[in-house]
Amino acid sequence: MRIKAICTDIDGTLLDKNRELSRRTRQAFAALPEDFPVILASSRMPSAMIHLLTDLKRENNPLVCYNGGYVLPASLEKNALSSVWIEPEVCQKIIAQTANTSIHVSLYSEDDWFAPKMDPWTKKEEKATKVKASLLGNDQVIAAWKKSQSGAHKVMCMGTAREIQELYQHLQRELSAALHLYRSKDTYLEIAPKSISKATGLREIIAGFGISMDEVMAFGDNYNDIDLLSSVGLGIAVGNARDEVKAVANEITAGNKADGVALSIEKYLL
């Protein structure tokens, strides 16, 4: 099998213990040919991914944002290859279920992140993603989306483990036919349209390169990487991946804190 492209998750997979790109990881990607496609696939928004492309010296590479809900071509200033959002009315139903709780609800659309206030959750995400939130009430955002006939590429709910579990269970019963409900952490619930995944986003991209899914090496660690790893020619789980991810992977490499992605690039491509 000849590998012609790499697709990798970011958090828990590509980044080290400091949520940065390690020296070895940078060196591994730098050793690849300049025209070798490197595709980042994440639940993150574009601005939280573009700086990583810059650090990898891959500025003109495509992005799979919001777990496949917003897919950007190699020339990032061009129109999205695909854009699938949650309708405002569905967003309202999600938000209504957080009433009388301490749950923080952030709304994302294209390259905009709307947080209702500057609380510890907003500060934590700003630090982790290196992106500043726009402070605006959820109701105001929803009203604007209704007028513009747009919606959320991602809804992120953050709160106590108990409250997030209760919200997850309710939404699983009521809206799982329309939504992906992804527990990235005990205190996080990330919500996206049901019809998309990182694998659907990757397919959109590699079609333009004339590459097949069998010619892609992909990396991941969490539930939203299962479809991706099982859809490519060489799906590799990092050592810290969930057992369900390891079960579908072709191979398991070292953990993200031990440069697992770099080790596999060195093994197969350098």
Q: Which helix (H) or strand (E) holds 90?
A: helix 88-96
Predicted confidence (pLDDT) at residue 75 exceeds the cutoff of 90? no
Contact yes or no for 118/176 (Cβ under 8 A) = no
Say what percent of the chain tops pLDDT 70: 100
Dist. CA 40–CA 10, nearest whole Å = 7
Dist. CA 18–CA 50, nearest whole Å = 18
Predicted confidence (pLDDT) at residue 49 exceeds the cutoff of 80? yes
Position 172 scores a pLDDT of: 95
Predicted confidence (pLDDT) at residue 154 exceeds the cutoff of 80? yes
Q: Tokens 């953050």 sit at which residue?
A: 158
Position 1 scores a pLDDT of: 75
Whole-Å CA distances, 123 to 101, 128, 158: 19, 9, 12
Whether this prediction's pTM lies above 0.85 is answered by yes
Closest CA to 198 of 82, 112, 100: 82
Position 79 scores a pLDDT of: 87
Position 184 scores a pLDDT of: 85
Position 81 scores a pLDDT of: 93
Dist. CA 229–CA 251, nearest whole Å = 10
For the chain, list the domains and their CATH numbers.
5-82+196-269 (3.40.50.1000), 85-193 (3.30.1240.10)
Tell me the per-residue pLDDT of 14-46, one tens digit each, with 9 for 90 and over.
999 999 999 999 999 999 999 999 999 999 999
Beta strand segments in 199-257, E: 216-220, 234-237, 251-252
Whole-Å CA distances, 242 to 10, 122, 172, 246: 15, 26, 21, 6
